[in-house]
């Protein structure tokens, strides 16, 4: 700051005292966080933001997101073990419903985010699903996954995440200008990466349709 002060004096520039803490270029940490106000009200300083049940920060990556959801799912699986008695307790059908609505739903709820996982991370998601289903069905670990899924009548978790994410995106296209993917000028505010473009194109090919056939809501709702 001393060098900045000398330069400002040399070039006849004024330094605003209120901005000194923000303009501090030294390696020392700020003693106090700068106060930011909106309409006269102070805004709280947050290091993270929660969206779809996931805490995001500037260092968040898919691995961190998966770890967060996985820890929640494992706690629910442990709770499921305490009620999944072999001789008495809830019916198997009810236990499977608990798996779907309490454990797998953690991934379904945030499908617009979890669909960006890598194949390795998808395998970790599928492992959580099969682990929960084995507890619900009371089957041993050596039971093949394909047999486990058929007995439970379930869809593979990673495939359902991709399907729900595609449905979510198509629903946003149908919402038109009322969707957050469009800005105030009615222009798309997102840019698809190559992987998503290919996935969406393949989806419409399988459905034998195109984006032009999506029925959109009117621009003005009555």
Say if residue 78 is in the same domain as residue 158: yes
pLDDT of 167 > 50? The answer is yes
Tokens, residue 2: 């001393």
Token pair 């289903």: residue: 133
**Span 4-10, mean pLDDT?**
66
**Span 81-102, mean pLDDT?**
82
In a domain, 218, yes or no: no
Domain tally, the chain: 3
In a domain, 219, yes or no: no
Residue 10: domain span = 1-46
**Span 110-131, mean pLDDT?**
86
pTM of this structure: 0.61
In a domain, 54, yes or no: no
Per the DSSP assignment, residues forming a β-bridge with 55 are 50
In a domain, 17, yes or no: yes
Q: Tell me: the pLDDT tens digits for 34-59? A: 566 767 777 676 666 666 666 666 66
DSSP string, 203-214: HHHHTT--GGG-
Q: Tell me: the pLDDT tens digits for 140-160? A: 888 888 888 898 888 898 888
């Amino acid at each position: 700051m001393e060098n900045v002060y000398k330069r400002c004096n040399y070039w006849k520039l004024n330094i605003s005292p209120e901005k000194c803490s923000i303009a501090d270029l030294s390696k020392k940490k700020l003693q106090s966080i700068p106060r930011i106000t909106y309409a006269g009200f102070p805004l709280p300083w947050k290091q993270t933001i929660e969206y779809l049940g996931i805490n995001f920060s500037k260092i968040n990556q898919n691995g961190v997101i998966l770890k967060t959801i996985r820890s929640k799912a494992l706690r629910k699986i442990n709770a499921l073990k305490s009620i999944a008695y072999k001789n008495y307790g809830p019916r198997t059908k009810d236990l499977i419903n608990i798996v779907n609505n309490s454990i797998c739903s953690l991934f379904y709820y945030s499908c617009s985010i979890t669909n960006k996982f890598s194949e390795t991370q998808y395998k970790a998601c599928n492992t959580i699903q099969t682990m929960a289903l084995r507890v619900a069905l009371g089957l041993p670990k050596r039971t093949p996954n394909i047999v486990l899924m058929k007995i439970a009548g379930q869809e593979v978790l990673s495939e359902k995440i991709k399907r729900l994410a595609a449905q979510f995106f198509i629903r946003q296209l149908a919402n038109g200008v009322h969707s957050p993917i469009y800005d105030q000028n009615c222009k798309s505010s997102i840019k698809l990466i190559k992987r998503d473009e290919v996935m969406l194109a393949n989806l419409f090919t399988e459905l034998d349709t195109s984006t032009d056939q999506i029925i959109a809501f009117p621009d003005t709702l009555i």
